[in-house]
Copies of this chain bind each other. A is one copy, B any other.
């Protein structure tokens, strides 16, 4: 059994095509019905404003599967600790023995989440997409754009965040990271989205931020912020206006994502799943002026895929 820390994992897993293909293969297997993916285990630790989620999935035929444990303790920053943490345990799918523990402190979650956004854009956004709007200015605002650049030639980013100082700091970080990228801080969501080819929402908002009036013709929207029963980023009008709606998994979108706008009823549009879109090898977008929306809540198959990818690139201690 091997133990790896965050630094070791960061040295071998980055936002690149190989990692993207590993996560995409996981989604494809899910779409082909080749994945066992139980519901998320979730537990609140109310007195510490904390929660812990456990996700897992097994891709049939794979030699390994991972179980990810993600604690989120949202008062941590006040004592100088990060909110998000966690680890992944990799098991042999033949014997159930532990092969490795990846003490990634949430790094692999950041990566596979960003890659899911890129995968959604690869299959749903217009190929000639150049301009992205990002709502929010945190870690995922940065990683989503970095990942998006793997699949689309993004040259301009418009950022909006509730806190303008954070948006400005984000713009500076992004300009430093991508010298050729134009990054504009916008004063409202409408301005940020006006010329967007791709919109990515990356906030922990508990009330919808984006509505149909923000959607330019032909835009693709990835909403990756909502991942729990109390969060929502999209007005129902975004989904009803869209020509194509895709969820990473329908069941999780209903409980933790944007489909909870139709809790207990049937949404008035077709719901596709990302894995099925990938497996069909044909984008549901068939015109440049269509609007596509993808809701990402985070799936166990992404965790199993990225953990397997990481482990295949890590070298055991001698």
What residues of chain A have their CB less than 8 Å away from a CB belonging to chain B?
A: 1, 3, 36-48, 50, 52, 54, 56-58, 60-61, 65, 67, 69, 71-73, 76, 79, 81, 85-87, 89, 91, 93-98, 101, 103
Contacts and interface: CB of A to CB of B under 8 A. Distances in A.
A96 B54 contact: no
A73 B95 contact: yes
A314 to B, nearest CB: 17
Task: Sort A-B residue pairs by CB-CB distance and give the 6 closest, nearest first.
Answer: A71-B96, A41-B41, A73-B96, A38-B43, A54-B54, A48-B94
B96 A85 contact: yes
A69 B41 CA distance: 12
Interface of A is mostly: strand
28 contacts: A1-B103, A37-B43, A38-B43, A40-B41, A43-B56, A43-B58, A45-B96, A47-B60, A47-B61, A47-B93, A48-B94, A50-B93, A52-B56, A52-B65, A52-B91, A54-B54, A54-B67, A67-B69, A72-B96, A73-B94, A73-B96, A76-B95, A79-B95, A81-B95, A85-B97, A86-B96, A87-B89, A101-B101
Contact of A93 (B38, B45, B81): B45
Contact of A52 (B50, B67, B71): B67
Contacts of A46: 36
Given A56-B52, A85-B96, A93-B50, A36 B43 contact: yes
Contacts of A89: 69, 87
Contacts of A65: 43, 45, 52
A62 to B, nearest CB: 10
Contacts of A76: 95-96
A47 B67 CA distance: 18
A58 B81 contact: no
A241 B72 CA distance: 48
Contacts of A57: 43
Given A47-B93, A50-B93, 11 more contacts: A36-B46, A37-B43, A48-B95, A52-B96, A71-B91, A71-B96, A72-B96, A79-B95, A81-B97, A85-B98, A87-B89
Contact of A41 (B39, B61, B96): B39
A3 B101 CA distance: 11
Contacts of A95: 48, 50, 73, 76, 79, 81
A60 B43 CA distance: 12
Nearest to A5: B1
Contact of A56 (B41, B73, B79): B41
Contacts of A103: 1, 98
Nearest to A60: B47
A281 B3 CA distance: 45
Nearest to A97: B85
A36 B47 CA distance: 12
A37 B37 CA distance: 21
